Amino acid sequence: MVRLEHVDAGYPGEVVLRDVSFEVNRGEVFALLGGSGCGKSTVMKHMIGLNPVLAGDLTVAGERWTAKTRAALCRRIGVMYQSGALFGSMTCLENVLLPLEEFSGLKRRAREEKARSLLADVELLDAAEKMPSEISGGMRKRIAIARAMALDPEVVFLDEPSAGLDPITSSALDDLVLRLRRERAMTFVVVTHELPSIFKIADRCAMFDKARRGMIALGTPTALRDGSEDEFVRRFFNRGES
C-alpha cells in the first residue's frame, strides 16, 4: 500500500533521515516509532504528500508522489492530525461533510447520509450537531477519524492518536482502529510513542533514531522488544531498561 525506497527525509537544506526503505502492506496497522525529534512525523509528512522527499522514491497505492499525481493521491488517503484539526466554526457533522461537499460529487442528501453513517461508525452520531468545543478531546479525535474516512481512502494516517488522552479513552480509540481495520479492511499508518497502543494495534513497526539519522529497526512489536540486538530499541520497548 505504501513503499519507501532509499528515501532521504527532511526539508530543503536539512536531511533528518537518510536511506529509509520499508513497505506498508494492505490491511495492516503500521506504526512509526522513535524518540522525540527522530523524524517520524517528518516521514509521515512525506507519506501524505505535504513535503516532497529529498531523495529516493515514495509510492502510495501504486502511484509515485509527484506534482502531477498529488491531487489525485490526496483523495486516496485520509489523515487525522494530532489535535484533530477540526474547524471550530463548524458542527461535527459539518466537519465530516466538508470533504464530501468539496470532492465527492454526491447529491446533498447522499452526502449527509454518508456523513451520519461515518459518525455512527465512530460511535458519535449523537454529537452530529455539537461544536468541537462542546466535546472531549477523545471525541474530537474520533470525529477527525470519521472525516478522514469520508472519501473512502485506501490508507488512513493517524498522527499521535493517543496524545493527551487518559488510558481508558486511549484504549477505546485503539479498539476503534482495530474495529475499522477489521470491518472495512482498512490500512492504517500510525505515528505514536505509546507502548500500550503499539502492542495492542500495530502489526509491524519502523523505528527511527535521531542520532543515527536513519531507520534502525523494522518488525513486529514483540520481535523488536524481545529479539533486537540494538540497545536503543530494547530500551524503548522496555521503558528505558536495557
Tell me: pLDDT of 148 over 90.
yes
pTM of the predicted model, to two decimals? 0.91
Hey, what's the cell of 17? 533521515
Which single residue is written with the C-alpha cell 501504486?
62
Angle CA 207–212–214, to nearest 5: 45
The arithmetic mean of pLDDT across residues 5-26, rounded, is 95
pLDDT digits 0-9 by tens, 121-140: 999 999 999 999 999 988 99
Hey, what's the cell of 177? 482502529
Q: What is the pLDDT of residue 163?
A: 77
The arithmetic mean of pLDDT across residues 23-35, rounded, is 94
Give the model's confidence band at 241: pLDDT under 50 very low, under 70 low, under 90 confident, else very high.
low
Hey, what's the cell of 204? 509491524
Percent of the chain with pLDDT over 70: 99
Of 26, 80, 16, the C-alpha closest to 204 is 26
Tell me: pLDDT of 107 over 70.
yes
Tell me: pLDDT of 115 over 80.
yes
Beta bridge partners of 2: 24, 60
Give the CA distances from residue 184 to residues 11, 108, 142, 216, in Å, rounded to whole numbers and listed in that order: 35, 24, 16, 32
Collapsing DSSP states into helix, strand and coil, what is residue 2?
A: strand
pLDDT digits 0-9 by tens, 45-82: 999 988 999 999 999 988 888 888 888 888 889 999 87
Domains of the chain in start order, with CATH, are 1-76+154-242 (3.40.50.300), 85-152 (no CATH)
Tell me: pLDDT of 240 over 70.
no
Q: What is the pLDDT of residue 213?
A: 93
Q: State the Cα–Cα distance between residues 130 and 133, nearest whole angstrom.
A: 8
Q: Are strands 14-24 and 2-11 parallel, antiparallel or unpaired?
A: antiparallel
Q: What is the pLDDT of residue 177?
A: 92
